[in-house]
C-alpha cells in the first residue's frame, strides 16, 4: 500500500492546494508514482474525471502535476455551494442531491465510506499519496463531523505538514493556536510547519522560528516566498473573492500595464452564483489581455469582450443581471458589434428562455433570457458530466482546431432560430458521438457553449483573440503559455525553500513506526498502510 503525506492549513486559502500540486510534481520528478487526494472539497470550480464524474478543479490540476489523468477517487466527496445555506452534493463523481448542512451531516457515514473506498483504491495503485486537507483542523464546532482533516490523516497514517499564510499576519499565533486546539494524538501527527507567502528578508524571521519550534517542539520545514502567478490557477472561491474585492479588479497579467487601446479588454460577469471561473485562467495569462470581474453596468464601457460564466443557479443569476441593469448593457454591447460569449450557464442566459419544469433551481416556471442567441434551455434532473473532444463545423470562429474540454450541466439547450452550432462534439467520455453544441452568430461575435476549458485550447484561444486584435488594429500573437512549465517552476521554488529530504524522512519514519505497532497483518481498512 502507498505511503502518504498530508498538507493541512491554519485556515482557508493559506496555500494548501498549490503546495500540494508542487509536492506532487517534486515527487513525480523523483520517480514516485504519485497521486493527489482530497476527501471532501467545497468548491466553486470543478472538472470531469476520466470516469466521467465530477471532482474539484484543484484535484484535476494536482493530477496534471502528477502527469496522470484525474480520477473520481482523488476527490470522492464534492460540495458545490448553490446558496448561503445549501450545496450540491456529489459523491464519487455523481450528483446525489441539493442539501443543507444538517441534511448532509445525516449522510456523513455514507460519505466516509466513499472516502475510505477511494483512498484504498488509490493506495493500491500508487507509491505515494499527497493528501490535502480543508480549512483548518482546529474548527472545534466541526470536528465531530470531520472527514477531511485529522480523521483522514489517521486513516492514511500520513504525517501532517501544517501551512500558514504570513501575508495575512498573525502567522505564529495561528500555528500555535491551531496546535493548542488539537488533541494530543493529533498534535503528534504534525511533523512540521510551512510558512507561506513570505515577502522580505528571511533572516528577520529567525527569532520567531526559534520561538515557535521551542514552544511546540515542531520544526519549521520551510518558508515559501510569495509566489507570483505560475499559470496554474487559483485555489477556489476564496481566491475569487480576494481577486474581486470591490467587484472590479484587473488581472495580474502584463496587459494591465497597457493603455486600453493597446490591450484586449475582457470583462467576466461576476454572477452571484458564479462557478468554474478557472475557465478564464488561460486568458488572464495572455500578455496583452486586461481582464476584470465586473458587477456594475458602467464597468462594461471600453470592453472588447464580455463573458458570462458558468452558474450554479442560472435563473437567479439571470434575474440578478436584470436587477443590476447589466442585462440591457450586455445587449447594447453586442448590438454595437462587440464580442459576447457565454459558457455553460452563461450560454443558457444568452438564449430566449430558461425553463425549470422540475424545480431543479427554483419552484418551477421559466424566465426570458437576454435573447442574443435563438436557443431555449430546459433544466433537467440529471446532470451531464463528460470529457469531450469537439470540432468547429464552420468558419465563424476563425479556427479549425480540435477542441478538448468537459461538460458539467443540468440543462438541455435547443436551437430555435437561424444560427449554427458553435461546435460539434465527436467524442464524449471516449465514445464516438455526433452532438451539436452551443450556437454562434454569423459574424462570430456572439456565441455560447457548454464546453468548459474552451480557452485552455491554445490554438483556439490564440485564433479567437487574434480576431479581436485584428479588429483593434493590434499585432496578432502566436504565443501560448504552457501550464506544465508552471508546475516545474513551482517545484523549483518549493525545492529551494523546503527541506524535502526531511519530509521524505518523516514519511518513511511514520510508515515504519506504524508498521511495527500494527503488525504485519494490519491493512488500510484498520487505518494503516502496511
C-beta contacts of 124-127 below 8 A and 24+ residues apart? 124/1, 124/2, 125/2, 125/33, 125/35, 126/2, 126/32, 126/33, 126/34, 126/35, 127/2, 127/3, 127/32, 127/33, 127/34
CA atoms within 13 A on the CB side of 433: 16
Cell of 233: 490557477
* CA distance linking residue 480 with residue 475, whole number of Å: 15
- Other C-beta atoms lying within 10 Å of the C-beta of residue 458: 15
Please say if 261 is a catalytic residue. Answer: no
Cell numbers standing for residue 262: 493597446
- For 297, counting Cβ atoms within 10 Å of its Cβ (0-12 exposed, 13-18 middle, 19+ buried), the class is middle
CA gap 104, 100 in Å, rounded: 6
Which listed residue (116, 244, 344, 446) is catalytic? 344
d(CA 267, CA 321): 14
Beta bridge partners of residue 436, listed in sequence order: 424
User: H helices within 54-205, ranges in order?
Assistant: 57-65, 101-105, 108-125, 150-156, 171-181, 184-189
522-529 long-range contacts (CB < 8 A, ≥24 apart) are 523/1, 524/1, 524/119, 524/120, 524/123, 524/155, 524/156, 525/116, 525/120, 527/154, 527/155, 527/156, 527/157, 528/157, 529/1, 529/2, 529/3, 529/4, 529/123, 529/156, 529/157
Q: Are the beta carbons of 292 and 267 closer than 8 angstroms?
A: yes
Instruction: Provide the 10 A C-beta neighbour count for residue 296.
Output: 13
All three cell numbers of 396: 465563424
Catalytic residue among 92, 333, 409, 452: 452
Beta bridge partner(s), residue 423 = 437
**CB contact at 8 A, 449 and 340:** no
Cα 75 from Cα 40, distance rounded (Å): 6
User: Which of 262, 256, 261, 253 is closest to 281 using CA atoms?
Assistant: 253
Residues 6+ apart with CB under 8 A from 510: 157, 158, 159, 191
By annotation, the residues acting in catalysis are 344, 452
Amino acid at each position: 500500500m502507498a505511503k502518504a503525506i498530508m498538507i493541512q492549513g491554519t485556515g482557508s486559502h493559506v496555500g494548501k492546494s498549490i503546495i500540494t500540486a508542487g509536492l506532487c510534481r517534486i515527487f513525480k520528478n523523483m520517480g514516485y508514482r504519485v497521486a493527489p487526494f482530497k476527501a471532501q472539497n467545497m468548491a466553486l470550480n470543478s472538472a470531469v474525471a476520466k470516469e466521467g464524474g465530477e471532482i474539484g478543479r484543484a484535484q484535476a490540476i494536482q493530477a496534471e502535476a502528477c502527469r496522470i489523468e484525474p480520477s473520481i477517487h482523488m476527490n470522492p466527496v464534492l460540495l458545490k455551494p448553490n446558496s448561503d445555506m445549501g450545496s450540491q452534493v456529489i459523491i464519487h463523481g455523481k450528483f446525489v442531491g441539493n442539501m443543507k448542512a444538517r441534511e448532509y451531516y445525516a449522510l456523513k457515514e455514507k460519505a466516509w465510506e466513499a472516502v475510505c473506498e477511494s483512498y484504498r483504491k488509490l493506495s493500491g495503485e500508487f507509491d505515494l499519496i499527497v493528501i490535502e486537507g480543508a480549512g483548518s483542523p482546529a474548527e472545534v464546532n466541526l470536528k465531530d463531523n470531520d472527514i477531511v482533516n485529522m480523521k483522514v490523516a489517521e486513516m492514511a497514517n500520513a504525517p501532517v505538514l501544517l501551512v500558514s499564510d504570513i501575508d495575512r499576519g498573525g502567522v505564529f499565533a495561528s500555528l500555535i493556536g491551531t496546535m493548542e486546539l488539537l488533541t494530543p494524538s493529533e498534535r503528534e501527527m504534525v511533523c512540521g510547519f510551512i510558512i507561506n507567502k513570505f515577502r522580505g528578508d528571511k533572516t528577520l524571521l529567525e527569532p520567531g522560528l526559534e520561538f515557535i519550534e521551542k514552544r511546540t517542539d515542531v520544526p519549521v520545514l520551510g518558508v515559501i516566498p510569495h509566489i507570483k502567478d505560475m499559470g496554474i490557477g487559483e485555489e477556489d472561491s476564496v481566491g475569487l473573492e480576494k481577486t474581486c474585492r470591490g467587484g472590479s479588479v484587473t488581472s495580474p497579467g502584463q496587459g494591465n500595464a497597457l493603455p486600453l487601446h493597446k490591450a484586449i479588454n475582457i470583462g467576466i460577469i461576476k454572477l452571484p452564483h458564479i462557478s468554474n471561473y478557472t475557465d478564464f485562467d488561460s486568458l488572464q495569462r495572455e500578455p496583452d489581455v486586461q481582464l476584470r470581474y465586473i458587477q456594475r453596468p458602467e464597468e462594461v464601457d471600453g470592453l472588447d469582450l464580455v463573458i458570462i460564466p458558468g452558474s450554479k443557479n442560472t435563473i437567479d443569476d439571470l434575474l440578478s443581471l436584470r436587477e443590476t441593469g447589466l442585462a440591457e448593457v450586455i445587449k447594447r454591447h453586442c448590438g454595437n458589434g462587440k464580442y459576447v460569449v457565454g459558457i455553460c450557464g452563461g450560454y443558457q442566459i444568452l438564449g430566449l428562455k430558461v425553463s425549470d419544469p422540475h424545480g431543479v433551481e427554483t419552484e418551477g416556471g421559466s424566465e426570458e433570457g437576454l435573447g442574443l442567441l435563438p436557443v431555449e434551455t430546459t433544466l433537467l434532473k440529471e446532470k451531464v458530466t463528460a470529457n469531450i473532444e469537439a470540432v468547429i463545423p464552420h468558419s465563424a470562429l476563425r479556427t479549425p482546431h480540435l477542441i478538448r474540454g468537459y461538460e458539467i450541466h443540468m440543462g438541455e439547450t435547443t436551437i430555435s432560430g437561424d444560427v449554427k452550432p458553435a461546435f460539434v462534439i465527436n467524442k464524449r467520455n471516449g465514445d464516438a458521438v455526433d452532438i451539436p453544441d452551443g450556437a454562434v452568430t454569423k459574424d462570430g461575435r456572439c456565441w455560447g457553449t457548454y464546453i468548459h476549458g474552451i480557452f485552455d485550447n491554445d490554438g483556439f484561444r490564440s485564433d479567437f483573440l487574434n480576431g479581436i486584435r485584428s479588429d483593434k488594429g493590434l499585432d496578432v500573437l502566436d504565443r501560448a503559455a504552457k501550464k506544465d512549465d508552471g508546475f516545474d517552476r513551482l517545484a523549483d521554488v518549493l525545492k529551494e525553500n523546503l527541506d524535502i529530504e526531511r519530509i521524505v524522512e518523516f514519511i518513511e519514519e511514520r510508515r515504519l513506526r506504524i508498521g511495527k505497532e500494527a503488525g504485519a497483518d494490519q491493512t488500510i481498512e484498520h487505518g494503516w498502510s502496511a
